[in-house]
Amino acid sequence: MTTDSPDILLILTDQHRLSAVGAYGPTPCQTPHIDRLAAEGVRFQTAYTTCPVCSPARGSVLTGLYPHSHGICSNAHNLGSSVHEAPDSPDLLSRRLQDRGYACGYTGKWHLGNGQSEAFSARTDPALPSTRGFQGQDFPGHGGGGFNYPDYRAYLETGGFMHEVKPWSESVRQVLPTGELIGPTESTVPHFLADHTISLINRLSTQGSPYFVWHNFWGPHGPYFSPTEFVDLYRDIEIPPWPNYDWPSRETPGPHHVKIHPDQESLTWDEWATAIRYYYAFTTLIDRQIGRIVEHLRQSDRLDRTIIIFAADHGETAGSHGGLTDKGWQHFEEIQRIPCIVRFPDGRFAGQVREGLVSLADLYPTILDLAGGQSPDRIHGRSLLPLIDEPSTSWRDHLVVEFSGVNNLSATLRTLVKGDLKYGFSAGHDDQLYDLASDPYELVNVATEPSRREQLEDARQMLSDWMADHHDPVRGIFNRTRLP
């Protein structure tokens, strides 16, 4: 560590699709504080999660590995996950940063273990932030929005607040878990979390060492709850249908059937649009709290020594592709693409965009690189600093997203992205191939078109080679079923 080692703040949102980030293109969703980070930093145009499920993706941030290597292949304590409590290791991001003299702080959603010593009758080493090198909050499990943890309940009581959702009063059906909160913004979980990070920064900044703070929101993952102030922003805002909303989800075979809304055939777009308004309201509430944290850094003279990274674990369907819900079970951009922004304190690269393919696994080596540390040889991510410094640097020309199931159901999906081509392997189902240049909303699977045969075979071989390089155990069955 040197005396000029920067402080590092990682802000991670949960289930945040790109249509809910203004910096990524025209949208009704208002995110002025995230947009300002993009205007003052570097925005990565084509960033992808490692897995469109919460625990596996977060495990990639902590380890720099794909889920098939770190073992949290589904949500922790779900059937389908090989590991249920994130194992401690000198190679965890927090442990490596501690070796560099960093104090590590944690706020919000964890979802890398329940803090339990047993899972499916096997002994485990309980994993919580405090047992994995962090100071701060310990919230075991998923948290379901964070509403029922004792710390939040105590915060409500101290402030004289309540967490209560108004009865549904919209003129349409309630398509997804949505609602209007009775209390003020100060009563919400995002505000509570921002308060904690502000106080954590204050405490860590007095310890005489640089700090890394990982701030995790429970949103805009559902349920989409916001105070009236934010719901009102969208009441009269038109929400245009997703360009792929009319995709024939029922008539198209594939694992996505698990996530088709059960009432899709009777739902109208107005009903979906109402749910999306609540999703956007929740996002704007979160954006406001990001602004509070950044403004605190500015007012406390810490912003000029803090590198801020903003990203999400994965995206959200919200009715796209014929009424799909949640995440997982398909190869589509709305769940795989994520926002990714890096803001430097000295204004370097402000407002610039990088087009190279970026993986969520890249956050681990990037953060270590920023801290002056080194990553283990075996990790899967790459530091983004060379790409930031020089857009024309030699960079990966393809990447992979994996999925092994969620909600106690299992599946095997691998998605390969190279340039404008996306190849999707789903075990037990036909292959998918999309030309993202001519079909950005992935409406037409061209895998069976004769003119695409060579591209399909090349993509299969490239995925097999990637599996070999990354020691993906799926490679054996993939090769037997997809290669000559």
pLDDT score, position 119: 87
The pair of structure tokens assigned to 185 is 């913004």
Q: Are 125 and 46 part of one and the same domain? A: yes
Residue 1 lies in a domain: no
218, 194, 86: which is closest to 143 by C-alpha?
A: 218
Residue 204 lies in a domain: yes
Which domain-ending residue is among 397, 425, 459? Answer: 397
The pair of structure tokens assigned to 87 is 């194992």
302, 129, 275, 331: which is closest to 202 by C-alpha?
A: 302
Residue 476 lies in a domain: yes
Residue 85 has pLDDT above 50, yes or no: yes
How many Å apart are CA 123 and CA 340, to the nearest integer? 37
Residue 3 has pLDDT above 60, yes or no: no
Residue appearing with tokens 């948290």: 143
How many Å apart are CA 340 and CA 38, to the nearest integer? 9
Residue appearing with tokens 């403004």: 295
The pair of structure tokens assigned to 81 is 């996950």
Q: Which of 3-7, 126-130, 174-178, 463-467 has the lowest mean pLDDT?
A: 3-7
Q: Are 440 and 327 part of one and the same domain? A: no
Q: Are 135 and 228 part of one and the same domain? A: yes
270, 250, 253: which is closest to 261 by C-alpha?
A: 250
Model confidence pLDDT, tens digit, residues 318-343: 999 999 999 999 999 999 999 999 99
How many Å apart are CA 303 and CA 294, to the nearest integer? 7
pLDDT class for 305, splitting at 50, 70, 90?
Answer: very high
CATH code, domain carrying 484: 3.30.1120.10
Q: Are 389 and 441 part of one and the same domain? A: no
Q: Are 464 and 377 part of one and the same domain? A: no
How many Å apart are CA 470 and CA 55, to the nearest integer? 20
What is the 8-class DSSP label of residue 120?
T
pLDDT class for 233, splitting at 50, 70, 90?
Answer: very high
Residue 402 lies in a domain: no
Q: Are 312 and 421 part of one and the same domain? A: no
Q: Are 33 and 94 part of one and the same domain? A: yes
Beta strands at 409-418 and 398-406: parallel, antiparallel or unpaired: antiparallel
Residue 153, φ and ψ in degrees, nearest 5:
-65, -40
Interval 217-227 mean pLDDT: 97
CB 356 within 8 A of CB 366: no
The pair of structure tokens assigned to 260 is 């088709």
Which domain-ending residue is among 363, 397, 431? Answer: 397
Which domain-ending residue is among 397, 427, 443? Answer: 397
CB 309 within 8 A of CB 319: no
Strand-pair partners of 424: 415, 432
Q: Are 482 and 366 part of one and the same domain? A: no
Residue 65 lies in a domain: yes
The C-alpha angle with vertex 70 and arms to 65 and 75, in degrees rounded to 5, equals 110
Residue 360 has pLDDT above 50, yes or no: yes
Q: Are 100 and 225 part of one and the same domain? A: yes
Sign of the alpha-carbon torsion through 130, 135, 138, 141: negative
pTM here is 0.97
How many Å apart are CA 353 and CA 101, to the nearest integer? 32
pLDDT class for 265, splitting at 50, 70, 90?
Answer: very high
pLDDT score, position 2: 47
203, 407, 225: which is closest to 325 by C-alpha?
A: 407
Chain centroid offset of residue 269 CA:
26
Residue 98 has pLDDT above 70, yes or no: yes
The average confidence (pLDDT) of the chain is 97
Model confidence pLDDT, tens digit, residues 422-446: 999 999 999 999 999 999 999 999 9
Residue 307, φ and ψ in degrees, nearest 5:
-90, 125
- In order of 320, 345, 421, 454, the CA distances from 211 in angstroms are 40, 15, 40, 50
pLDDT score, position 1: 43
Which residue type occupies 483?
Answer: L
Domain that holds residue 205: 7-397
CATH code, domain carrying 392: 3.40.720.10
- SS3 assignment, position 245: coil
Residue 68 has pLDDT above 50, yes or no: yes
Q: Are 346 and 455 part of one and the same domain? A: no
How many Å apart are CA 212 and CA 443, to the nearest integer? 42
Residue 403 lies in a domain: no
Residue appearing with tokens 């960079």: 395
Q: At what angle do helices 475-482 and 453-469 cross, to 10 degrees?
A: 160
Please tell me the total count of domains within the chain.
2
Q: Are 372 and 416 part of one and the same domain? A: no
Residue 199 has a CB neighbour count (10 Å cut-off) of 14
Q: Are 320 and 218 part of one and the same domain? A: yes
Residue 194 has pLDDT above 80, yes or no: yes
How many Å apart are CA 484 and CA 476, to the nearest integer? 13
